[in-house]
Structures are given as C-alpha cells and as structure tokens.
Structure 1
Amino acid sequence: MMTHHLTRRDLLRFSAIGLGSASLFAIAGCSTTGPATGGAGTPDVGGEATDFSFASWSLSEEAPKATVQAAIDAFAGDKGVSVETVTFPYNEYLNQLTLQVRGGQFAGAVQVDVAWLAALAALGKLADLGPLAEGRGYTAAALAAGRLDDVQYGLPWTIGAIGLIGNAELFDRAGASLEPASIEEFEEGLRALKGIGVTPYAAATAAAQLKDILMWMQTFGSPLVEGDSVEIGDEASVKAVEWYKKLFDEGLIAPDVDRFAARNLFAQEAAALYDDAPVGVSAVRSAATDPAIVDKMVPIARPVARTGDAPVATLWGHAVCVVSGDGEGTAAEFAQWLTSDDEQTAAYFEALSLPPATESGLQSEAVGADRFNSEFAERITATATKNPFWGYVNYAQMETAIAENVQAVLIGDASPADALAEAKSTIAGML
C-alpha cells in the first residue's frame, strides 16, 4: 500500500484567521454561498471487491495512525484488495482534498470533519450513502451530523460534542455547583472558584476559538440562522456578548485563551472549567501535573437561560464520505464497516477513546466502563446540534467575522450591539 504525503503549500488553515473558505472555493472554482447539493448517486455495493483509495488526516498523526492503519489492513485482507492511502495534516486537509477531488485526481473513501460537509458537497462528487446507513444502528444525532439537505453524505465514525468540562475537586473546594441550573447559579460558581485562586473558566477569548461564543448566544435564545436569514445581532446574541464581557471584566474568564491554552490551564489545575470535545482528554492527561486528573474531570450540562430549555452543545466528530469514481462500491462498503461494525468500533474506542456513532457501540462494555465518556454522552452529546453556519460553504469565514468582532468587545474597542451589527454586515456580504 502506498501513502502520499502532499507538501503543496497550505492555502487554507481550518479555523485560522487568514485565508478563508471563500478564497479556497474561488481557487477551486466553486460557489461560496449556500451549499451546492446534489451528489453523485448511490454506489453499487455487494459486487466483486475492487481496489480503492482512502484519504485520512489520522494517518498523519502519531496517536491514531497505527489504529487506523490496522483497520485498513484488516478490511483489505478480508476483501483481498489493495487500499491506497492518502494523507496530509488536518490543517491542510480540506484544501488539499478539495483540490484533488475538484481536479479528478481522487476517488474513494474520505475521512471528514462533520463541519466540512457543505464545502465538500459543493463539489458535486460525494455519493449518497443513505441506503448504507439503514439498519446499521447509527444514533439519530450521529446520522444528522453526516446529513445535509436530506442527503446522507457521510456515515458517522465518531460523534461527540463541544461542551463544558469541570474539575470536580476544584469545584468541591470552592463550593461551586457541578449542575448549575441557571446562568445566575453558573456565575455564582465562577465567583466562588475565583476565590480559591484559579481561573474559574478557561473560556475561548482568542479569536481562533471565539466561535464558542455561538453556544452562549444560542443559550440566551438566538437561533443564529433562521431559514436564509442570519440572526447575529438580535437581542439574545447581544445579551450573550454583554454577559461574556461582564465575565471578562470580572476576571472570571481570561484573555487570549484558545483551545490549546485552555487544555494546558486545565491540565495544570490552574483553571477549573473549559469547553472541549472528548478527544481533548488525551491532551489534558499528557500535560497534567496529576496523572489521575481524568478521575476529576466531569462533563457539565451547559446552564440554561429559561427553565425547560435544552442545554446547548455543538456536535463534533468525524464521518466517512465517498467520492464517486473508481472503486467507489468497495470504498462505500469500507466506510460502512469502519463506522458501524461492533468489533471494529470497540477497537477504535479502546485505542483512542473516541466515542462510537452506533447505539450498540455506545452500550458496549468498553464504553460503559469509561465513566467520563458515558457521562459526556448523557449530559452533553444527547442535546447537541449542528452549528447552523455549517450549511454555508464559507462558514469558517463567517465564524471569523463573528470572532473578531466579539474580541473587539472584550478589549473595549466596540459595544456588543455595534460589534454584532458589523459581524452581520460582513456575513451578509458573503451571501
């Protein structure tokens, strides 16, 4: 089997400030507005197995590489086929994959971030995998993460969410609640945590992850997007940013914090709370001063602004799509097996602690024995939804516009209302 490491200069760094999705799709020859749906049909499966290609950023990362390669080898050996692998780093992945698919240089199975579906569907070459999803036991939330405009472009591989994670020992020392029922109770807990000398909440304040503010806007009641209308700047989103600025001014959240800084602060027990997906546990463990820190980590349902509201969390995860072309039928069978075979999903979870996307996988002994992942699924993933901006090809640029304007509020350069009006105007110009 061959592995290609492409070294072409990165044109798009996902979630970075700089070259955005609009530039990417101008280069690729695609629209930058709403998703250009309408895929390439459903692959024929069940016939004679053929060689195919598989693109994956995990094959470029030390931690998952061996596990993913073992799965590829197992499937290839069982089917008697060869799998040609293509890999490049995550930050280059979407751009490089787009260039290859657009140029007709790639067909086969592809690992995707669920946030990228609209971008890849815009190319018009993703297969409809709906029939392959039937009867495989995928959870409803997982299937929704791989669906766009009623087309099942991706079979969910691992699905979780971005949610709040707290240090139970620090919360206990401060007398703060791990189950805040309201925004007010949440604030009280943060002030109590500040009193014991830690950063209460390592919330995103650096532009790279300030998209996390969207979850708080939704908590305060903003839909963010309503139909074809972007609602940023409505009363609820302004209230959310006003509240975030208050936390910042009181020192309840800290300046210049991104996801990596938050993980390090939490790992050193210098912060009591932060936002992350389950995948972040391994990073926290490796950087921790206390080797048993995972035992202290508790998923916390986001507080609600109104009684009866569902706690807000944003879906996070990976799916496997199929780019139509040579070997697409066997590539589709591989995607189905990789994401839903009980033995395979158990092995993936045991090696990497990435939650499976099937009901049987979540009910397995391996997942049940993992206290943190079980609680995370129950308290956070259960009510998670897709970021509504993901429906736009250039969603990353939209998030950047919001992040930069919210950052201006935090440092005192703009009012919440003016900043969000500016963000809305910028986004309107992209539509």
Structure 2
Amino acid sequence: MSHNPFQPRLVSRRKMLAGLGALGAVSAFTVAGCSTPAPSGGPDTTGSSETDSIKFYGNVLGEESQKAAWQGAIDGWESRSGKSVKPVVYPYDQASTQLALAARSGDFGGVGQGGPWQVLVPTGILADLSELASHMSLPLKIIESLRIDGKLHFLPLNASGIGLVGDGRVADEAGLKDGASVEEFAAALERIKQQDKKLIPYAAVTKNPDLKDAVHWMWSWGSEVVTVDQRCTLGDAGSVAAITWYKELQDAGLTKSGVARTDARILFARGQAVLYDDAPLAAKFVRTNGGSAALATAIRPLQRPSVDGRPSVNRFWGSGLFCSKGKGEATSKDFISFVAGDVKAATSLYEEAALAPADARVAAKVAGLDKDVFQNTFRTAIADHARAAAWDRLPSVSQIDTAIGEGVAVIMAGQTGVQAGLNSLKRKIDDILAQDV
C-alpha cells in the first residue's frame, strides 16, 4: 500500500532516539479553514484514569508575557475540578531536553504545553486527543496534518503564523502595501533607507536562533525545502534565488547583520526599524519593550510580498497541548478541554498574552476580539496565508530547524557562497531525514 504523505507514519526506534536527543523547541501550528470533523473512532482510553493532581510541563509559566494568563487558567480549572496542577517549568530552548529526560525516566505524566511533542510519539506515551478535537471548531487542514496513524496527539489552542509587521505611518509613505511583489518590496525598503539613513528598513532575522525564518522566503521562491515525502530540495533554483536575495538585502543595508528576533523587537519598539517578522504578539511586544503609544497604534501587519505571482506564504505559528495516556489521562484531558474551551480562560490569554483562541466558537465569545484591528488584520494578512512545514510533525523538527538556521547563518556571515552553503545544508538535512528509515 502506498503511503499517504499527509498521514504521517509511526517512526522507527532509530528516529525515536534521534528525536529524543534533539535540542530546541518545535514550531507549532495554526491555520484558517473549516471545522474539525468527528474522528472515525474514539481515542484508545484503555487504562485511562482520574488522578488528584497532574503535572504541567512547559515554558509559559516562566514567561512574563503569558504567565499571568496561564496561571489564571490553571487556577480556574483547579477551582472547578477540586484537583491540583504541579508545574514543571523550563526555558523555551530546553523543551526537547526536558521532555526527553522525563520520557526516559518514566516521569512524564500529565499535560505538556508547546514543546516538541513529536519526540514523544515513538515512545507510545501520548494520549489520542481526537475526541476532544471533535467537539471543537478547529481548522480541518491543520488537524489532519497533525494526525499520526489516525491519532491526534497535539491539540492547537492558538492559530496564526510568522509574518511581517511594521510601522504603518512609514510603510504608507514608502509605499509598502499588501499584494506587492518582492521587487516592489525591495524598492520601498530603498526609499526608506534614502529618507533616513539611521533607520533599518527591515529588521529581518539574520542570525540564530531564529534563522529558520529563511524558510518562508524559500517557499516564496518555489522551493519546498522538505517535501511531504521527506525529500530535501535545498540547493535548487528557488532556494538559491531566495537566499541570494535575502543576503543582498543585508549587503545593501536594507537589513542588518547579527539580528535575532528579540533584537528585532527592541529595534522596532525603539523606532529604529520599520519592519520585522513576528507572531501576533507583536503589538504587545511594542508595549513591553518600551515603545510609544503612537507606535502601538500605528503597528500594522503586512502581507508577505510574492515572487513571480505566487501566493504570499508564511510559516505556521501557534501553541497547543498534549498529554500522557493511561494513569491520569482522564484528568489531563479534562484540563485540556477546560483551557481550550473555557471563555474566561481564553479571554484571559487574549487580554494578557494577545493570543486569540483557535476554536472559532470560543473566539466568537471573547469580548473585544472582533473589534481588535491588529489581530483581525493579522489574521487576514498573515494567518490566512500561513502553512505548516512538512517536517513540523516529525520528531526531528527541532534538528531540521536548527540545521537550517545554522546553515543559513554561515551564508549570511559570508563564510560560504549561497549555492555551496545550501548544498552542504542539504546533505545535513538528508542525514537527519535518513534516520526515519
């Protein structure tokens, strides 16, 4: 029987070991589309049970931008259920390591937030969340792309993408607008540079750990990077053209070398950069990084420019939950259901962390969300043009993202040519993908 590329396979023990050894955090998912259908069969709850407490693995309780909202959600569930949550907090970039250690020691039991759930799939310790999803109004496309052998181990809570945001006042003056070609985009950046030499027209990511941002530009030029049947295309004409263009922007002073996402947020908030790439939390980051009230009002999402008439495209971004099966599974699922569906919790996450719920029915009940110009424009300009990477559901997702970032960083630093650098990067990713056989 031929393998359906949209139906991921259970991976080998070799892949499992590689995945458990990966470092970094997974890119999560989001889409706009139709509602989730009921699965053909309910989840396997054999041996599932209630417990008086569950562990909650993740980084959000350690991040100022989300801590209060998540603590409110946890408090709400504890009050309603009479049970308790025991946080296991780790930094974002230690997610793979911490989850792998918990899985190896047999201590993983409860709910995980964000993080590379994929590395845990081969261990068989994750529960199937299909039944929970069937009662929610979630995007069909992403739910189906997340299934592995018919099971859904990860439930998206937020749905968006990584896209361009900018100061709308300067963007208007320079002629930056939705539907532009990359040529028109670059010309607008040149106008900004000519008008004010001190401004960084586009604070694009040019160093790790975020240079996986190069992916959406390579997609724009028609390179898949990795196909759904796990074939790496780096070094093809599209990827070479994209990275050549990306480096030319830097060489021309339209972007700046040595910029990571956190740097770009600060540069933008300070009014030193006009554009950068971010998630829908960008408007919040303006305030938390000391940006002016005028900039907070003027910030605007911008549809990524297209190449040769191809559709605009961004990489999916979001967050979600997963849990262990067996002991405590019923309690963990009740917690996930509460966080995903409780309007008070969703409103808190929206108000405190600028995260809109993925469940359309819940989103419709969040006060003020329908009038939030930035969030709604972000959805139409960015999220509606977002897609998941083919490797986002593989245990090696973090390894591949890290390899891409490192490989492109070498090119951006001028340590190798574009073609040679991408050819070398292709060999590294081929080696990672070969672990799946």
Q: TM-score, normalised by structure 1?
A: 0.85
Give 3-state SS (helix, strand or coil) of 1:225's partner: coil
**CA distance 1:291–1:45, change in 2 (3 Å):** farther
Verify the 8 A CA contact 2:243 2:418 in the aligned structure 1. yes
Distance 1:99 1:220 in 2: 39
Tell whether 2:110 aligns with 1:121.
no
Q: Does 1:356 align with 2:357?
A: yes
Deviates more, 1:53-62 or 1:237-246: 53-62
- Amino acid corresponding to residue 158 of structure 1 in structure 2: N
Which letter maps to 1:128? Answer: D
User: What letter matches 1:124 in structure 2?
Assistant: G
Cross-structure match for 2:101: 99
Letter paired with 1:244: Y
Deviation at 1:55, TM superposition (A): 2.1
- The aligned residue for residue 34 of structure 1 is none
Query: Secondary structure of 1:304's partner?
Result: coil
* Cα offsets for 1:333-370 (capped at 9, x unmatched): 21022112333312321222111111123334421122
CA shift, 1:41, in A, is: 5.4
Instruction: Say if 1:298 and 1:372, in contact at 8 Å, map to a contact too.
Output: yes
The residue correspondences of 1:186-335 to structure 2 (distance < 5 A) are 186-197=185-196, 198-226=199-227, 227-307=229-309, 309-335=310-336
Partner Cα distance (1:313, 1:145) in 2: 17
Of residues 380, 383, 388, the one that matches 2:382 is: 380
CA contact (8 A) 1:145 1:315 kept: no
Q: After alignment, is 323-332 or 60-69 more displaced?
A: 60-69
Cα distance in structure 2, aligned partners of 1:211 and 1:221: 16
Q: Secondary structure of 2:392's partner? A: helix
Q: Which range moved further: 287-296 or 192-201? A: 287-296
Displacement of 1:121 in angstroms is 1.7
Larger relative contact order (C-alpha < 8 A, sep ≥ 6)? 2
Query: What 5-or-longer segments of structure 1 have no aligned partner?
Result: 1-21, 31-39
| TM-superposed deviation, 1:111 | 0.8
The alpha-carbon deviation at position 395 of structure 1 amounts to 2.8
Alpha-carbon contact 2:403-2:425 (below 8 Å) kept: yes
Q: Please say if residues 207 and 260 of structure 2, whose CA atoms lie closer than 8 Å, have aligned partners that are also in contact.
A: yes
Secondary structure, counterpart of 1:232 in structure 2: coil
Once residues 150 and 16 of structure 2 are traced to their aligned partners in structure 1, the CA distance between those partners, rounded to angstroms, is 25
Residue ranges of structure 2 left out of the alignment (5+ in a row): 1-13, 23-41
Higher alpha-carbon deviation: 255-264 or 193-202: 193-202
Shift of 1:281: 2.9
Q: What is the percentage of aligned positions where both structures have the same residue?
A: 31
Q: 1:384 to 1:150 in 2, by over 3 A?
A: farther
CA distance 1:166–1:342, change in 2 (3 Å): same
Residue 150 of structure 1, CA deviation: 4.3
Aligned-partner Cα distance in 1 for 2:111–2:282: 26
Residues in 2 aligned to 1:204 and 1:318: alpha-carbon distance in whole angstroms: 21
Contact 1:145 1:156 (C-alpha < 8 Å) held by counterparts? no
State the one-letter code of the partner of 1:290: S
CA deviations over 1:205-238 (Å, ceiling 9, x no partner):
1132111111100000011112121111111111
Residue 137 of structure 1 aligns with which residue? 137
Aligned to 2:181: 182
Cα displacement (A) at 1:82 = 2.7
User: Residues of 2 paired with 1:410 and 1:86: CA distance?
Assistant: 37
Deviation per residue, 1:308-338 (Å, 9 max, x gap): x332111111111011232111211210221
Provide closer, same or farther for how the CA distance between residues 77 and 409 of structure 1 changes in structure 2, counting only shifts above 3 A: closer
* RMSD of equivalent CA atoms: 2.7
Residues 50, 330 of structure 2: 8 Å contact kept: no
SS at match of 2:124: coil
Inter-partner Cα distance in structure 1 for 2:50 and 2:393: 36
d(CA) in 2 for partners of 1:396 and 1:48? Answer: 33
| 1:342 aligns to 2:343 (yes or no) | yes
Hey, what's the Cα distance between the residues in 1 that align with 2:109 and 2:380?
Answer: 37
Secondary structure of the structure 2 residue equivalent to 1:230 = coil
Task: Give the direction of change, closer, same or farther, for the CA distance of 1:66–1:347 in structure 2 (3 Å limit).
Answer: closer
1:368 alignment partner AA = D
1:371 corresponds in structure 2 to 373
Distance apart, 1:299 and its partner CA:
0.7
Which residue number in structure 2 is paired with residue 159 of structure 1?
A: 159
- Give the conservation status (yes or no) of the 8 Å contact 1:76–1:83: yes
Q: Deviations over 1:97-129 (max 9, x none)?
A: 22112321121111124xx23223233211111
4+ residue runs over 6 A deviation: 44-49
Give me the whole-angstrom Cα distance separating, in 2, the residues matched to 1:382 and 1:28. 33
Contact 2:19 2:396 in 1 (8 A): no
Partner SS for 1:263: helix
> Structure 1 residues 189, 41: CA separation in 2 closer, same or farther (over 3 Å shift)?
same
Letter aligned with residue 133 of structure 1 = A
1:152-202 superposed Cα distances (whole Å, 9 cap, x missing partner):
1111122221111011111233x3222242111111111111112211111
Q: Distance in 2 between matches of 1:376 and 1:27?
A: 33
- Asked if structure 2 preserves the Cα contact closer than 8 Å seen for 1:217 and 1:237, the reply is yes
Shift of the alpha carbon at 1:142? Answer: 5.5
Conserved? CA contact 2:164–2:277, under 8 Å:
yes
Which residue number corresponds to residue 51 of structure 1? 53
The letter of the residue matching 2:187 is E
Paired AA for residue 331 in structure 2 = T
Q: Could you tell me how far apart the structure 1 residues matched to 2:103 and 2:314 are?
A: 32
Report the Cα offset of residue 49 of structure 1. Answer: 7.0
Aligned residues: 397
CA distance in 2, matches of 1:24, 1:288: 43
**Cα deviation, residue 289, structure 1:** 4.1
**Helix, strand or coil for the counterpart of 1:298?**
strand
Q: d(CA) in 2 for partners of 1:273 and 1:24?
A: 39
Deviation at 1:43, TM superposition (A): 3.5
CA distance in 2, matches of 1:91, 1:288: 25
Query: 1:54, 1:83 within 8 Å by CA — same for their partners in 2?
Result: yes
Contact 2:136 2:359 in 1 (8 A): yes
- Counterpart of 1:120, as a letter, is L
How many angstroms apart in 2 are the aligned matches of 1:293 and 1:145? 37
Q: TM-score, normalised by structure 2?
A: 0.83
